[in-house]
Structure 1
Amino acid sequence: MVEPTRPAGREKRRAPWAPVVAWLVSNLLTWMVARASVSADGSGVAYWSTGGRSRWDSAHYLSIARTGYEMFRCRDRYPDFRDVMCGNVAWFPGYPMAVRAVSATGLSYELSAVVLTEVSLLGMFVVLWRLLGARLTWATGLTLAIGTVFPGGVYLHAAFPVATATLALLVCIAGVRRGSWGVAAAGGFVAAACHPVGAVAVGMLLAGAFFAWRGDTWPVRFAKAGSSAALAGCGVLWAKWLMWQATGHWDAYEIIQESSYGQGGLHQPFEEMGKAYRFPFRDWYTPEGPLPPLVEHALEAHRTQLWLNTAFAVLVLVTAAALLVRDRRLDAGQWAALVLTEAVFLVPFLAGAEMSWYRNHAQMFVGLVLVARASRWVQVPLLACCALQYALLGAMFFSGVLV
């Protein structure tokens, strides 16, 4: 299960170009999936267009970037709509505000969103590479390869905050590993401000008192853990403050989640997994006309996606356990990656995100820090499974079936 330690004298190749190659390969593979998802009549959107990167929630993120937050009763504007709350306060501000900043260069909001996403994805590969030691070996090379087809990774190319939030979580891990509570707090703040799932960084940093800053006394460790967690949590407070400024409600996020999406409070995770598995995407929306073979076989790919995501979360846990048995320790970065991976897996089901868990789970990318220590006999089959599933879920995305 765990890759044995290599002899100390064995030279490892420096490969500063490896993260860039991984990013380019990821784009190439995603373009190929998009091409294979185009209907026989030629209809569809081009991967290299901003429209090809946008789906449902993308419009809300762009509206926040343009004009900020709003919340209103739907029937006040749409008399035939059901009597629920409408608006964009169900989405966090970190990504839209960054899009607004990029648009100051003169780029359109749509193009700014894509540029931000792709720069974030490149940053993800760079930070992951540094966390892996920045040396090219079979283990690190296979890990980067898995990253190019990571489960749910098509959303790392979309106009969504997934790539930016994942980059922030990786920075948070890097800060914990370096013993820099300021860097860890900054990464946690951005992750929490970009996406509700990113708030798992707050819990990880609090727990960091027990595995990070080991050179300090216990009072100092608790002080650093508490301070970094508090600063990271300010990302959520910033989001709530912006929503309050625009709507007059501190609980605007909770209001619209409960009113429009039936979400609120904690859910039974296994029950929510069942709902997510059974969700009828095929019946909910199927493209018209003859379907490309890849799309035809992909309309229920969310089911195999759930199996793969579960297997990945278990693999990260088992790898960490094997390292603890063999080495009797994990370093601070590995502990942080373990806690974040398992939390990212569970949070969507605790929150009842039956239609968005697959993109939220893309943030489990941070678990590759531990997967790099797994045996090749584990990494190679994982790569094959991820590549196949990447094509299937990508086809669901580019055919417009996923939200």
Structure 2
Amino acid sequence: MRPRTGLVTRLPPLLPPAVAWVVSNLFTWLVAGLSVAGDGSRVAYWSTAGRRRWDSEHYLSIARTGYEMFRCRERYADFPDVLCGNVAWFPGYSMAVRAVSATGMSLEVSAVVLAEASLLGMFAVLWWLLGARLTPATGLTMAVGAVFPGGVYFHAVFPIAFGTLALLVCVAGVRRGAWGLAAAAGFVAVACHPVGAVAVGMLLSSALFAWRGDPWPVRCAKALASAALAGCGLLWAKWLMWRATGRWDAYEAIQRSSYRQGDVRRPFEEMRKAYAFPFSDWYRPEGDLPWLVEQGLAAHRTQLWLNIAFLVLLLVTAGIRLVRDHRLDVAEWAVLVLAVAIFFVPFLAGAEMSWYRNHAQMFVALVLVRRVPPWVQVPLLVACAAQYALFGAMFFAGVVV
């Protein structure tokens, strides 16, 4: 008589990722239904308009007509005499949107389809990195992923889901020992967003924890080659900007002129500024507000506390693993390096109005969350769901950009 096969082994391989993706959409739809848009109207979650914010228009403009940069006064007489244009945004997501639109869909629909397909891909790669085996630990980890802090941007017209998928594929490449795959995914991550440059740092450090079947010279060569190829994503972005504007420093110029960025900041001072930023004073919706929106007007503050707690949890978990088991596996080292870098990079750059969506890319670190005991995973899930609702309401109300 053949032994009975457990439910775990009979699960179709894509079922858990698909379920997580559906749950994420349904929960976000519920939050949108309990919110109002900035003009006081109901949020149409299943439309493209409900998923677009200020930066979304720049990504769409790059997909539509490419890059441009000009003096603002040339077109807007009452505007400050600074640089305007869309060269402050990287091209990876926009070029992918343009490619998807070749199917006949509009750019707006293509952008949402790409974001949702990327989110589904994120869950699929995460599931593979978790071992593709349903246990209480992996099930709870996938549930946390469905309501990950800042994850509302995975559904929006932003490169966050596409870039996070690239980071996860980069981790998968390192874990498999496929340096070419890791390099290609790192290239995409860097081309999508400046924060994607964390892939270059992780790949450089991978000689210390990956490619273990090779001698040290080969390990160092793979780390250097994959990091160098990933870094070419930046060169591609700057080449596109140069071709359109004639300036290799177009990105740096507009950051200095219009956004007062480009230098390295004191991260803890920038963290304080980000926490204190008065979003609700700038973008408070009109009329009487639903309870969820009223409570979520300052949700970026609880978001920061939760993100700090999440980072501390990762470091403690990794420390316990090293003391108890004297090792982390390759993927765990990779996501730990990425998570720490993703947390600090926005504050080093002074991104006081966008750090929260950049931090959503710490999703990659869920690979380590499966090592957390259930009595910690369950409160984490509850905290993430509550924060997702509050911050989601803040997003749909147009309070954050």
TM-score category of the 2 structures, normalised to the smaller one: over 0.9
SS of aligned partner of 2:44: coil
Other-structure match for 1:319: 317
Question: Structure 1 residues 327 and 101, CA, compared in 2 at 3 Å: closer, same or farther?
Answer: same
Query: Which of residues 303, 306, 309 in structure 1 aligns to 2:307?
Result: 309
Give the conservation status (yes or no) of the 8 Å contact 2:121–2:165. Answer: yes
Residues 202-229 of structure 1 deviation map (CA, whole Å, 9 limit, x = unaligned): 0100000111001100000000000000
Worse-superposed segment, 39-48 or 141-150: 39-48
Which structure 2 residue ranges, 5 or more long, are not aligned?
none
Post-superposition Cα deviations, 1:8-50, rounded to whole Å, max 9, x if no partner, equal xx96713320000000000000000000003799713300000
Residues in 2 aligned to 1:63 and 1:345: alpha-carbon distance in whole angstroms: 28
- In 2, the alpha carbon distance for the partners of 1:49 and 1:350 equals 35
Could you list the runs of 4 or more consecutive aligned residues of structure 1 that deviate by over 3 angstroms after TM superposition?
A: 39-42
> Which residue is 2:8 aligned to?
13
Instruction: Measure, in 1, the Cα distance between the counterparts of 2:146 and 2:217.
Output: 41
The structure-2 alpha-carbon separation of the partners of 1:123 and 1:339, relative to structure 1 and needing over 3 Å to count, comes to same
Among residues 368, 371, 377, which one is paired with 1:370 in the alignment?
368
DSSP-derived class of the 1:86 partner: strand
Which residue of 134, 137, 146 maps to 2:135?
Answer: 137
**Alignment counterpart, residue 69 of structure 2, candidates 68, 71, 83:** 71
1:190-209 to 2 correspondences below 5 Å = 190-209=188-207
Contact 1:40/1:290 (CA < 8 Å) preserved in 2?
no
- Counterpart of 1:174 in structure 2 is 172
**Contact 1:44-1:399 within 8 A present in 2 as well:** no
In the alignment, the residues of structure 2 paired with residue 333 and residue 112 of structure 1 have an alpha-carbon distance, to the nearest angstrom, of 31
How many percent of aligned residue pairs carry the same amino acid? Answer: 75
Partner of 1:155: 153
- Classify the secondary structure of the residue corresponding to 2:70: strand
Greater CA drift, 70-79 or 37-46: 37-46
How many residues in Structure 1 have an aligned counterpart in Structure 2? 395
| Structure 1 unaligned spans of 5+ | 1-9
CA distance in 1, matches of 2:7, 2:54: 45
- Report the AA paired with residue 305 of structure 2: W
Report if the CA contact (8 A) 1:149-1:390 is conserved: yes
TM-score, normalised to structure 2, is: 0.97
Measure the CA separation in 1 of the matches of 2:269 and 2:328: 33
* SS of match in other structure, 1:47: coil
Letter of the aligned partner of 1:46 in structure 2? Answer: A
What residue identity is the alignment partner of 1:264? G
Q: Match of 2:180, as an amino acid?
A: G
Question: Aligned residue for 2:230?
Answer: 232
8 Å contact kept, 1:202–1:232: yes
Q: Which residue of 279, 285, 288 maps to 1:287? A: 285
Contact conserved, 1:86 with 1:256, CA < 8 A, in 2?
yes
The corresponding residue for 2:113 is: 115
1:104 equivalent in alignment to 2:102: yes
Query: Does residue 1:213 correspond to 2:229, yes or no?
Result: no
Which letter maps to 1:78? Y
Deviations 1:129-164 (A, max 9, x none): 000000100000000000000010000000000000
SS of corresponding position for 1:72 = strand
Q: 1:27 aligns with which of 25, 28, 38?
A: 25
The question of 1:275 aligning with 2:273 is answered yes
Which of 349-358 and 326-335 deviates more?
326-335
Where 2:306 maps in the other structure, the secondary structure is helix
Structure 2 CA distance for aligned equivalents of residues 167 and 156 of structure 1: 10
Q: 1:363 to 1:41 in 2, by over 3 A?
A: closer
Amino acid at match of 1:175: G
